[in-house]
A = this chain, B = another copy of it.
Amino acid sequence: MKSNLLSLLFLVVLATSVSAQQNLIPFAKPIIGTEKMGHTFPGATVPFGAVQLSPDTDTIPYEVNNRYNKDVYKYCAGYQYDDKTIVGFSHTHFSGTGHSDLGDFLVMPTAGALQLNPGTEEKPETGYRSRFSHATEVAEPGYYKVKLEDHNIVAELTTSQRTGFHQYTFPASEEAHIILDLMAGIYNYEDKNVWTFVRIENDTLVTGYRQTNGWSRTRTVYFALSFSKPFKQYGANDYSKKQVYKGFWRKFDQTKNHPDLAGKQLRLYFDFETEASEKVKMKLALSPVSTRNALENMQAEIPHWNFEQAKTEAQAAWNKELNKIQVQTINEEDKINFYTAMYHAALMPTLYMDVNGEYKGLDQNVHQAKDFVNYTSLSLWDTYRAFHPYLNLINPKRNGDIVKSMLAHYDQSALGMLPIWSHYANDNWCMSGYHSVSVIADAIIKGNANINAQYALDACVATARKRSYEGIGYYIDLGYIPGDKNGTSVSSTLEYAYDDWCIAQLAKHLKREDIYQEFSKRAENWRNVYDKRIGFMRPRLSDGTFKKDFDVLNTEGQGFIEGNAWNFSLYVPHNPAAMIALMGGEKRFTEHLDSLFTMDLPDAFFAHTEDITREGIIGNYVHGNEPAHHVAYLYNWTSKGWKTQERVRMILRHQYHNGSAGLGGNDDAGQMSAWYLFSALGFYPVAPGSDQYALGSPLVKEATLNLENGKTLNIKALNQSDKNVYVKSVMLNGEKLTGNFIKHADLIEGGNLVFEMSSKVPK
């Protein structure tokens, strides 16, 4: 009673101190993007939390008959809106990625005869899974609810940072079960489970871990699971195809009430007797370090069994996060898109540290995060573009911690490299470039990194000089990666050139002239893969000639990663002016760009292209994948900046919708959403690492940015409407801007940024 009163008091105080806050929970819709290729998850989590407790609608095998199962891609987030059944609720999910892993610790409540296998979507009654309907489904930030029809159980989920909180309302049953499936997982190839270990500590507490060889090569997640009510009995089965060595463990019947379990493919069940509408609750906390830490996390974060309180706290955390920007929009759909984008841009990276500050590093040793919060799951090829700049604007402290996490990764890396895709004490090496350097340069240059900047620069340089990594040796020696040596030679050359420019900018900032010279020179390397004769970037071979039989539309085998020459040829974010000049000047360039947005692509294109969908494309402009995210803003470097305004408004309207199928492509760890957020506010960071934003066409009517420095930036779009997409003038604190750009340093001083909108193309 006392603690409840205290909690209540706390909430009252909290409510008072955030009295200026609006309740924005109704506008952030986790369900958006859960259909088709959005790859978002609908379940419960808190901002950047370590736990993402969410329903999985299928457990898809990675291979069928020894062949890669293409459907695996659909289930990156475990959930597809069209599916008719829920297999269970697992505790870890990526948001919006195009590759996956995770799905740890799948839990499913059932009633009736025990079934330990999941069953099939066609015949859910053959297993523990259940039919469900969207009619009973509630998906809010920090809260998820659904009725499991086959079992007549209502499941509710909420979380704290490291702890999932389940509340299951059972029917009256003498055979109520909670299943813990340690075999289930996302991207679930055979042998992914390296080892699992479980201890039944007492009749309400279970601990253990699961070690996987997945997208993260060597990953172990520890858990502590607590039930609100003692189970009557429990049991387990090991479904390993090849049984693990048992030795004298054969003395025990390990399938029933045996508290000490280990193996490769374990499923457990816990039996209860329930009265009608009885709520059985369960908390499952994670740790990257140990079961002891997992239990400590649980006890520190949710020491009680009050589900409503936990939900209230989770949603309070979301309201705090979402209130960093308060907007007024033309219509409610825009407001929902805006706050859903803010929601999606606060799911990754994820907290990777216990309440005591411990985490497991790349060397598999336990490290203590001193003076920073450690994060993992950095999908940097996606997020360096707009997501990290977005954090620098609205959440700089967190981005500073992410930079520190990257430097800790560098310190622990056997290769001596900054992360490519930092993933639970591993690098999964996904995608190309070394875009950590962009994030670091952008943070330091924008004054947001309480770090040893010289050391950070050294880390950037060491990474960029790693000759053995993805053609860097060739790139250093020849100024480009030869197409006969590497399959993504052009895109990597282009990305390295941009990253090198970031290093150069940072070196300049830190007065390291030698580094500045070296990397300024490297930053020009994009020129070496431009074929003037055809006006496109093109693979160049070791002998200096260009690849023959070159297809500017094809995304495969042409030297580009997840893109074609049309999109990637525009990838010189750090020097659009020089690129335009090389491409023949403004007129030819503008025509080229216009064609990109308006051309018709053949159907065959979509059949052969990974990570690019028809929904994500406008003409041949691929918004559904990242390489062209800056492209619509390039008109700003011509005299036709209004074309950027037109295109940006079109993309905002065309690629983002309310509803489960609302995202045109993978949300990619928040990058797609961060593009939306910047663009909706009226500006975009074309080249992170510079202090400059290119202007676009704001979608909001008004926005208040509550900056961390205590200042407030008010953005107004006068005469805003669906027709008025053009910007007649921009005033910052009463002064009219003369160019198409605005400085970050000016924005964070706060004040008023006023766009005057018009339906007419400016002269």
- The interface of chain A, by Cβ under 8 A from chain B, is 99, 189-192, 194-195, 197, 199-201, 207, 209, 211, 213-215, 217-218, 242, 244-245, 247-249, 251-252, 257-260, 262, 290-292, 363-366, 413-415, 421, 428-430, 468-470
Q: How far is the CA of A270 from the CA of B409 in the complex (A)?
A: 27
Q: Are B248 and A364 in contact (CB under 8 A)?
A: no
The answer, among B214, B247, B414, for a CB contact under 8 Å with A429, is B247
Which B-chain residue is minimally distant from A194 (CB atoms)? B195
| Given A195-B218, A215-B247, 11 new contacts (CB under 8 A) | A190-B242, A191-B244, A195-B213, A197-B218, A197-B364, A217-B244, A217-B245, A218-B262, A247-B428, A247-B429, A259-B415
**In the complex, what residues of B have CB within 8 A of residue A413's CB?**
260
**In the complex, what residues of B have CB within 8 A of residue A290's CB?**
364-366
Q: How far is the CA of A439 from the CA of B99 in the complex (A)?
A: 56
**In the complex, what residues of B have CB within 8 A of residue A195's CB?**
194-195, 211, 213, 218
**In the complex, what residues of B have CB within 8 A of residue A291's CB?**
363-365
Q: Are B191 and A245 in contact (CB under 8 A)?
A: yes
Known contacts being A242-B191, A291-B364, is A414 close to B247, with CB within 8 Å?
no
Q: Are B251 and A189 in contact (CB under 8 A)?
A: no
Q: Are B207 and A363 in contact (CB under 8 A)?
A: yes
With both chains docked as a complex, state the minimum distance between the C-beta of A433 and any C-beta of chain B, in angstroms: 13
Question: Which secondary structure characterizes the binding site on chain A?
Answer: loop
**In the complex, what residues of B have CB within 8 A of residue A245's CB?**
189, 191-192, 213-215, 217
Q: How far is the CA of A258 from the CA of B413 in the complex (A)?
A: 12
Which B-chain residue is minimally distant from A211 (CB atoms)? B195
Q: Are B213 and A429 in contact (CB under 8 A)?
A: no
Q: How far is the CA of A290 from the CA of B197 in the complex (A)?
A: 19
Give me 29 A-to-B residue pairs in the complex whose CB atoms sit less than 8 angstroms apart, sorted by A's number. Answer: A194-B195, A195-B211, A195-B213, A195-B218, A207-B363, A209-B364, A213-B244, A214-B247, A215-B245, A217-B244, A217-B245, A218-B262, A247-B428, A247-B429, A248-B421, A248-B429, A251-B429, A251-B469, A251-B470, A252-B468, A257-B468, A258-B468, A259-B414, A260-B413, A260-B415, A290-B364, A290-B365, A292-B363, A366-B366
With both chains docked as a complex, state the minimum distance between the C-beta of A51 and any C-beta of chain B, in angstroms: 21
**In the complex, what residues of B have CB within 8 A of residue A213's CB?**
195, 244-245, 262
Known contacts being A245-B189, A245-B192, is A363 close to B199, with CB within 8 Å?
yes
With both chains docked as a complex, state the minimum distance between the C-beta of A293 and any C-beta of chain B, in angstroms: 9
Known contacts being A194-B195, A242-B191, is A249 close to B414, with CB within 8 Å?
no
Q: How far is the CA of A700 from the CA of B342 in the complex (A)?
A: 85
Known contacts being A211-B195, A245-B192, is A414 close to B200, with CB within 8 Å?
yes
Q: How far is the CA of A398 from the CA of B138 in the complex (A)?
A: 62
Q: Are B366 and A249 in contact (CB under 8 A)?
A: no
Q: How far is the CA of A213 from the CA of B247 in the complex (A)?
A: 10
Q: How far is the CA of A252 from the CA of B414 in the complex (A)?
A: 13
Q: How far is the CA of A508 from the CA of B245 in the complex (A)?
A: 42
Q: How far is the CA of A217 from the CA of B260 in the complex (A)?
A: 11
**In the complex, what residues of B have CB within 8 A of residue A201's CB?**
414
The answer, among B189, B218, B365, for a CB contact under 8 Å with A292, is B365
Q: How far is the CA of A294 from the CA of B742 in the complex (A)?
A: 54
Q: How far is the CA of A239 from the CA of B249 in the complex (A)?
A: 29
With both chains docked as a complex, state the minimum distance between the C-beta of A226 and any C-beta of chain B, in angstroms: 16
Q: How far is the CA of A260 from the CA of B258 in the complex (A)?
A: 38
Q: How far is the CA of A262 from the CA of B213 in the complex (A)?
A: 9
**In the complex, what residues of B have CB within 8 A of residue A428's CB?**
247-248
Which B-chain residue is minimally distant from A470 (CB atoms)? B251
**In the complex, what residues of B have CB within 8 A of residue A218's CB?**
195, 197, 262
Q: Are B191 and A429 in contact (CB under 8 A)?
A: no
Interface pairs A-B: 5 shortest CB-CB? A248-B429, A260-B414, A259-B414, A199-B414, A292-B365
Q: How far is the CA of A635 from the CA of B711 in the complex (A)?
A: 95
Q: How far is the CA of A721 from the CA of B251 in the complex (A)?
A: 49
**In the complex, what residues of B have CB within 8 A of residue A197's CB?**
218, 364
Q: How far is the CA of A192 from the CA of B291 in the complex (A)?
A: 24
**In the complex, what residues of B have CB within 8 A of residue A211's CB?**
195
Which B-chain residue is minimally distant from A189 (CB atoms)? B245
**In the complex, what residues of B have CB within 8 A of residue A364's CB?**
197, 209, 290-291
Which B-chain residue is minimally distant from A365 (CB atoms)? B292
Which B-chain residue is minimally distant from A212 (CB atoms)? B245
With both chains docked as a complex, state the minimum distance between the C-beta of A609 and any C-beta of chain B, in angstroms: 19
Q: How far is the CA of A655 from the CA of B192 in the complex (A)?
A: 51
**In the complex, what residues of B have CB within 8 A of residue A429's CB?**
247-249, 251-252
Q: How far is the CA of A192 from the CA of B195 in the complex (A)?
A: 12
With both chains docked as a complex, state the minimum distance between the C-beta of A381 and any C-beta of chain B, in angstroms: 11
With both chains docked as a complex, state the minimum distance between the C-beta of A401 and any C-beta of chain B, in angstroms: 24
Q: How far is the CA of A636 from the CA of B22 in the complex (A)?
A: 91
Which residue, A192, A215, A364, has most C-beta atoms of chain B within 10 A? Answer: A364
Q: How far is the CA of A245 from the CA of B258 in the complex (A)?
A: 32
With both chains docked as a complex, state the minimum distance between the C-beta of A678 and any C-beta of chain B, in angstroms: 29
Which B-chain residue is minimally distant from A216 (CB atoms)? B247
Q: How far is the CA of A365 from the CA of B195 in the complex (A)?
A: 16
Q: How far is the CA of A189 from the CA of B245 in the complex (A)?
A: 8
Q: How far is the CA of A587 from the CA of B100 in the complex (A)?
A: 79
**In the complex, what residues of B have CB within 8 A of residue A215's CB?**
245, 247
Q: Are A248 and B194 in contact (CB under 8 A)?
A: no
Q: How far is the CA of A160 from the CA of B214 in the complex (A)?
A: 38
Q: How far is the CA of A415 from the CA of B260 in the complex (A)?
A: 7
Which B-chain residue is minimally distant from A412 (CB atoms)? B199
Q: Are A249 and B468 in contact (CB under 8 A)?
A: no
